[in-house]
Structure 1
């Protein structure tokens, strides 16, 4: 895990600063996300039908499940110092590039694309790439805007 003071990110714009550990996306996690969101499309939750009818031959995670893991993956990769709180501000250029089959492991790479002062906070635009183990193609790419409030 990398320890960072958000204010030092200005000097690291364009440089990858953190890579998370691997996180398994289990069928149980997919089912729980389906229950929480009401998105119970068969490609996510019906393992028998997915094996028979899906081009992937297995259930796949919701794209929004993969997106929702980004916060946890950043927490796994970075311990920020000197913060009171952080809040999501939005996403830019979000793409679900490839599926995440059930049982896959994913991790994320984080690069600050910009760091700006914003109303008592520091707004960081992270360039995020989520990748799947044993795959050359990312599963998700995005710019993630986070506002950090110092102590």
Structure 2
């Protein structure tokens, strides 16, 4: 997969309403889930206890924290788009986020992004990205939402 290169507001603007691309797949391992649980102090058994999750859980195994899957966005986003000539990038907000399906351990996920809107706010570029985290071999995505980024071009 090739990464989209954006060098200016004008180049970004050409993609309004268009797909920006899809990242590579990333496998969510139990080790990653456990590290996320440690970092967030969320050790609920459905995430961290494979034996109990298999015996008592609704999904046949442990599942990734919803916020773990969301936290993968920057890593996966960088595989889709490279924005050059920046002073700074700010994560400004998340709108309409919906967790549609749990991500079972060892699932492969990838990010699909589309530019919904872009606005020049006196030199700061506000972008609204429609995103979905797809799960390999699943019809429903893990989540959908709209991310808002502020790009400060040089």
Q: TM-score, normalised by structure 2?
A: 0.94
The residue that corresponds to 1:112 in the other structure is 115
The residue that corresponds to 1:73 in the other structure is 76
Residues matched between the structures, number: 151
In structure 1, what is the Cα distance between the partners aligned to 2:121 and 2:30?
Answer: 40
Query: 1:16-73 deviations in whole A, cap 9, x for unaligned?
Result: 0111111111111111111000111110000110000111010000001111111111
Query: 1:73-114 deviations in whole A, cap 9, x for unaligned?
Result: 101121111112211001000000001011111001111111
Structure 1: runs of 5+ lacking an equivalent: none
In structure 1, what is the Cα distance between the partners aligned to 2:8 and 2:62?
Answer: 38
Of 67, 85, 90, the residue aligned with 1:87 is 90
The alpha-carbon deviation at position 6 of structure 1 amounts to: 4.7
Structure 2: runs of 5+ lacking an equivalent: none
- Assess, with a 3 A threshold, how the Cα gap between structure 1 residues 6 and 17 changes in structure 2: closer, same or farther: farther
1:121 aligns with 2:124: yes
**Aligned residues: CA RMSD:** 1.1
The residue that corresponds to 2:5 in the other structure is 3
In structure 2, what is the Cα distance between the partners aligned to 1:118 and 1:147?
Answer: 9
The alpha-carbon deviation at position 119 of structure 1 amounts to: 4.9
Q: TM-score, normalised by structure 1?
A: 0.96
Of 56, 60, 64, the residue aligned with 2:59 is 56
**Residues 16, 112 of structure 1: 8 Å contact kept:** yes
- Assess, with a 3 A threshold, how the Cα gap between structure 1 residues 31 and 98 changes in structure 2: closer, same or farther: same
Q: Which runs of 4+ in 1 moved over 3 A?
A: none
